[in-house]
């Protein structure tokens, strides 16, 4: 008998389907401390409740299915030690994030700041104001992280006839990338590029990867995009690069500290576009979660194992 604790509120999760599999459902509203040790499966991660379940004496917890792709916020060493299975939602964000990155690039490339400034003033712009407009096929893209999201972004960019370079751990080839490099060869990957996108998971190898050495190696690069994790970027080094004209623009969805404090100097930089960790938002997210969770749950009830999206706790993604 599996006892499932469902943490996110989402009306699209079809709980009756789980009950038909013989699974008993708990929610933060119905669970009592006496139930903590009984929970075998957790959908989502919510503090402080999740930590209480994990720490419960004689806890029966066997599997955590996150509703995020990134799992950097989980106590990975403890979960590995306790042999708890972890699956993530990698895949469901590929379309909304790719579309958001295209929006960021088009915002700057089609000089939307100027368009909006004129619109706000009810003013018809002069064509001479748009001398710096670029099309996406005039830009070379280097995407750090060629997984679900990076690969989908590259696939869409190919429709715009853009040149695509990918960076992953080993440099293995991936469809829709003209060339791929290993992380250690990053200098070659960004030497002649225009747009740099971070969509890597946050791990020991990616923490503060985009640091002073990285940004100072650039030469008036057109755009830096971060939709991966804020802690992969050393914010002070990014700000310095924007001031030193190593970088022309930045579009940032994730930050070292979230919410981004109102005192952050990033807010004041006119060449920086800030979005509030929103790039993955879309309607029907619950249905997208269901498409991963339900087959996994069916398999787990039958065999004690899952069939997709298992995270490698040693790699951290
Ligand atoms: N802004 C947002 O709302 C969201 C952000 N994310 C972030 O994006 C990340 C990636 O998501 P997916 O594409 O679904 O994951 P994925 O697991 O499909 O792909 C990860 C990619 O990163 C590469 N990678 C890992 N470590 C690396 C390293 N040290 N150097 C170079 N490449 C490395 C892998 O080779 C792989 O290509 C998540 O881990 C999460 O942190 C994900 C969803 C939403
Ligand atoms: O899936 C991820 O990793 C995300 O960053 C998505 O955002 P969330 O943390 O689920 O609000």
Q: Check if 3-91+283-303 and 94-274 are the same fold.
A: yes
Delimit the domains of the chain by residue range: 3-91+283-303, 94-274
Q: What is the pLDDT of residues 141-183, one digit of tens each?
A: 999 999 999 999 999 999 999 999 999 999 999 999 999 999 9
Gap from CA of 315 to ligand 1 centroid (Å): 12
ipTM of this predicted structure = 0.98
| Candidate of 69, 71, 145 to mutate for ligand 2, largest count of ligand atoms within 8 Å of Cβ | 69
CATH of 3-91+283-303, one of 3.90.1150.10, 3.40.50.720, 3.30.413.10, 3.40.50.2300: 3.40.50.720
Q: Alpha-carbon Rg of the chain, whole angstroms?
A: 22
Q: Is the CB of 146 under 6 A from ligand 1?
A: yes
Q: What is the pLDDT of residues 67-81, one digit of tens each?
A: 999 999 999 999 999
- Nearest ligand 2 atom, CA 67: 10
Q: Is the CB of 92 under 6 A from ligand 2?
A: no
The per-residue pLDDT for 218 is 98
Single pTM value for the model: 0.97
Gap from CA of 69 to ligand 1 centroid (Å): 8
Given CA atoms 257, 260, 263, 265 in this order, what sign does their dihedral have? positive
Q: What is the pLDDT of residues 199-227, one digit of tens each?
A: 999 999 999 999 999 999 999 999 999 99
Strand partners, 196: 142, 224
| Candidate of 233, 289, 317 to mutate for ligand 1, largest count of ligand atoms within 8 Å of Cβ | 317
Instruction: For ligand 2, atom 4, name the residue with the nearest CA.
Output: 68
Q: Which fold has domain 94-274?
A: Rossmann fold (3.40.50)
pLDDT grade for 309, boundaries at 50, 70 and 90: very high
């Amino acid at each position: 008998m599996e006892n499932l604790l469902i943490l996110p509120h989402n009306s699209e999760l079809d709980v009756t389907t789980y009950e038909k599999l013989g699974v008993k459902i708990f929610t933060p509203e119905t669970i009592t401390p006496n139930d903590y040790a009984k929970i075998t499966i957790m959908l989502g991660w919510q503090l402080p409740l999740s930590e209480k379940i994990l720490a419960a004496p004689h806890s029966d917890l066997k599997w955590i299915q996150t509703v995020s792709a990134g799992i950097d916020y989980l106590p990975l060493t403890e979960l590995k030690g306790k042999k708890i299975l972890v699956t993530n939602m990698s895949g469901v964000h590929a379309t909304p994030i790719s579309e958001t990155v295209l929006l960021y690039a088009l915002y700057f490339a089609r000089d939307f700041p100027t368009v909006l400034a004129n619109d706000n003033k009810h003013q018809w712009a002069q064509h001479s104001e748009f001398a710096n407009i670029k099309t996406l096929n005039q830009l070379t893209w280097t995407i750090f992280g060629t997984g679900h999201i990076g690969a989908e972004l590259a696939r869409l960019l190919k429709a715009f006839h853009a040149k695509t370079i990918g960076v992953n751990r080993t440099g293995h080839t991936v469809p829709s990338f003209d060339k791929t490099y290993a992380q250690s060869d990053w200098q070659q990957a960004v030497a002649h590029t225009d747009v740099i996108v971070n969509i890597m998971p946050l791990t020991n190898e990616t923490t503060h990867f985009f640091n002073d050495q990285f940004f100072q190696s650039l030469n008036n690069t057109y755009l830096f995009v971060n939709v991966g994790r804020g802690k992969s970027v050393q914010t002070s080094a990014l700000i310095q690069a924007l001031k030193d004209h190593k970088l022309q623009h930045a579009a940032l969805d994730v930050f070292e500290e979230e919410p981004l404090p109102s005192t952050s100097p990033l807010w004041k930089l006119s060449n920086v576009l800030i979005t509030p960790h929103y790039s993955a938002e879309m309607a029907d997210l619950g249905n997208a979660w269901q498409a991963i969770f339900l087959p996994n749950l069916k398999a787990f009830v039958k065999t004690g194992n899952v069939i997709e999206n298992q995270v490698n706790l040693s790699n951290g993604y």
